Amino acid sequence: MYNKYEMELAGRILRVDVNRVAKQANGAVLMHYGETTVLCTATASEKPRDGIDFFPLSVEYNERMYSVGKIPGGFNKREGKASENAVLTDRVIDRPMRPLFPKDYRNDVTLENLVMSVDPDCSPELTAMLGAAIAVSISDIPFDGPISTTQVGLIEDQFVFNPTAEQKEASRMALTVASTREKVIMIEAGAEEVPEAQMIEAIFAAHEVNQKVIAFIDTIVAECGKQKHTYESCAVPEELFEAIKEIVPPTEMEEAVFTDDKQTREENIRVIKEKLEEAFAEKEEWLEVLGEAVYQYQKKTVRKMILKDHKRPDGRAIDQIRPLAAEVDLIPRVHGSAMFTRGQTQICTVTTLAPLSEAQRLDGLDESETSKRYMHHYNFPSYSVGETKPSRGPGRREIGHGALAERALLPVLPSEAEFPYAIRTVSETFESNGSTSQASVCASSMSLMTAGVPIKAAVAGISAGLVTGDTDEDYLVLTDIQGLEDFFGDMDFKVAGTHKGITAIQMDIKIHGLTRPIIEEAIAATKKARTYILDEVMNPAIAEPRPEVGEYAPKIIQMQIDPQKIGDVVGQRGKTINAIIEETGVKIDIEDDGAVSICGTEQEGMDKAAKLISTIVTEFEAGQVFEGKVVSIKDFGVFLEFAPGKEGMVHISKIAKHRVNKVEDVLKMGDVVKAVCLGKDKMGRFSFSMRDVAE
């Protein structure tokens, strides 16, 4: 026996099975949306983890290839490390849920989402988001939920909720919105230059749908929900705060944090911590939480300065952007490069162009996405924040930031037909002090233009922050937040776009949601800042894409051949095409529809390869003149190779106007000569003449 709950969601049935499987987890639900099935569980440790000053939440989205009827590739035929899509889904589940756990909770919590079956029309990611929220809500883990998540598409100016696979293909927007009962708590979007007003309407249309799902979850919790367990609070003792304030008065803390240089501020805080450690040397229980206490003291100081005094730590006005700079062609020999600097945030992006065969192949659950032509990678080394630690490859943060910039730039990229290249941009973080992901959008937009990629419009990104008071009306939106304002503020609202509209949004918050006025003000602030960056900073550095790709970038010739002739060009076991590649030094890609891309750095070799391929696919007809190489000499004449795998014979009588007694008197192996096709002989073979070329 188990509990089963159903509701209609966007024209399909959402079913939740409780007490059916995984009963030893604190909370577990088997989610069904259409024929998509995801097992969602929530578990918590009995005791808090020692020695930490953060909430240890882990979110896992586990894709199983059996869910789409596939066996994993590779040698061991087992799922390997999480795909990029899985990592991004982990982040989207984590962001709206983390703020709703108690701030003083230090028990380990793991949310596992196992994708067991995929219906292409019912998103497994969405199903996991809903399932994770329900699993925690019915568990005994403290959680101020429930929440709900809705996806929104835009087709012919009409919003489509939780779009099907076909609708996603036609949609101009991919928006994900998570909500609590009253407010929006998470926004993630990719869009084709959607106007700000339309984006706001879409966000709150999704918020309304979320309220219906939350009401549905409430019925499940009412019948199956467990009583929330008590826990050992890790809050900083109030008497410690009072003791700290006696040693370090609020005015002294304000002076310590009120600077635009991160290193100076960190040194000031280090001195304060040393003073406090000496003062509390005999109180071990206070020393254990002193770091968290100083952090919270800084946070209260910064928030008070901003909200009450309208003073930012670096002295800027509320809507003022830090000093900006942009330059291009920073790195020689690469295909394109640009650097964007905003205060102590500095990103250099390098663009690389390659044939379409270099596009990334994807082995995931979404069968509509098997390759990726544009790849954006983001690197965040420790030196960028003045620290030292070994590089262990990209983590979830790096993958998430790279994907955000990639999403922001995709809508302005030219089609494959317009620009037949695979494109990779790599954003290297030189310095970091707030919103490097949006600086990488700006740097990448310029870098693409320097590489000669004909993007439709320049894209800029900026982040807005938020500090709230005791009521919904008591708040302040900040333009261009630096690291300190991100750490101590309530929101990091990243928006990227062109003059025309929004191409990407990512919103992280630390409070229980945002009201409509806050979201509208944040989007308006980012629009104003984005316009300034585009017009006053990026445009003077590079106003439009360069007309041609750079000197060191590969050049591509495109041609179309009859698909029936592909075998002739490739040859037996690739012999013909490999001979062309070896002779000309180019790279050749042939699609099933007969589209041929010839890629190289030397125009002469590319032209020769194109000529050879044209010759191979051309049917011999009388009157056509070809250039061929002598590959065989016989007593009766010679054989000419016009292209790899394509030969013809010239009879000795057709070699010259005068009588030729011996072929070797006129020709030798390897000679390149011109010959005209005379048509078929009596045996049905094509014959050629060198002597009749002039005529």
Annotation: binding site for Mg(2+): 486, 492
Bin 595: left if φ > 0, else alpha if -120 < ψ < 50, else beta: beta
Q: List C-alpha distances in Å: 261 to 30, 258, 265, 315, 371.
A: 51, 9, 6, 11, 43
- Long-range contact list for 1-9, CB < 8 A, 24+ apart? 3/220, 3/223, 3/224, 5/216, 5/219, 5/220, 7/212, 7/213, 7/216, 9/33, 9/162, 9/209, 9/212, 9/213
Look up residue 474 and give its two tokens.
């008591």
Alpha helices, H only, 280-421: 284-288, 290-309, 396-409
* Bridge partners (DSSP) listed for residue 494: 463, 506
Number of helices followed by number of strands (H, E) in the chain: 17, 29
- How many residues in the chain? 695
Look up residue 461 and give its two tokens.
């990104």
Q: Give the burial class of 195: count Cβ atoms within 10 A of its Cβ; 0-12 exposed, 13-18 middle, 19 or more buried.
A: middle
Location of structure tokens 């439009």? 544
CA dihedral sign of residues 49, 53, 55, 58: negative
Question: What's the DSSP call for residue 536?
Answer: I
Phi, psi dihedral angles at 456 (to 5 degrees):
-70, -30
330-360: burial string, b at 16+ Cβ within 10 Å, e else: ebeebbbbbbbbbbbbbbbbbbbbbbbebbe
Alpha helices, H only, 195-342: 196-224, 238-247, 250-257, 262-279, 284-288, 290-309
Q: List C-alpha distances in Å: 373 to 353, 414, 510, 552.
A: 10, 11, 35, 20
In the annotated binding site, the residues are 486, 492
Phi, psi dihedral angles at 474 (to 5 degrees):
-100, 90
* Bridge partners (DSSP) listed for residue 160: 153
Location of structure tokens 């009201």? 515
CA dist 280 and 252 (Å) reads 19
* Bridge partners (DSSP) listed for residue 687: 649, 679
H or E stretch covering 121 = none
Residue (of 143, 144, 142, 214) closest to 177 by Cα position:
214
Say how many C-beta atoms besides its own lie within 10 A of residue 426's C-beta: 20
CA dist 593 and 560 (Å) reads 8
CB-hemisphere CA count at 13 Å for 44?
Answer: 22
CB-hemisphere CA count at 13 Å for 579?
Answer: 18
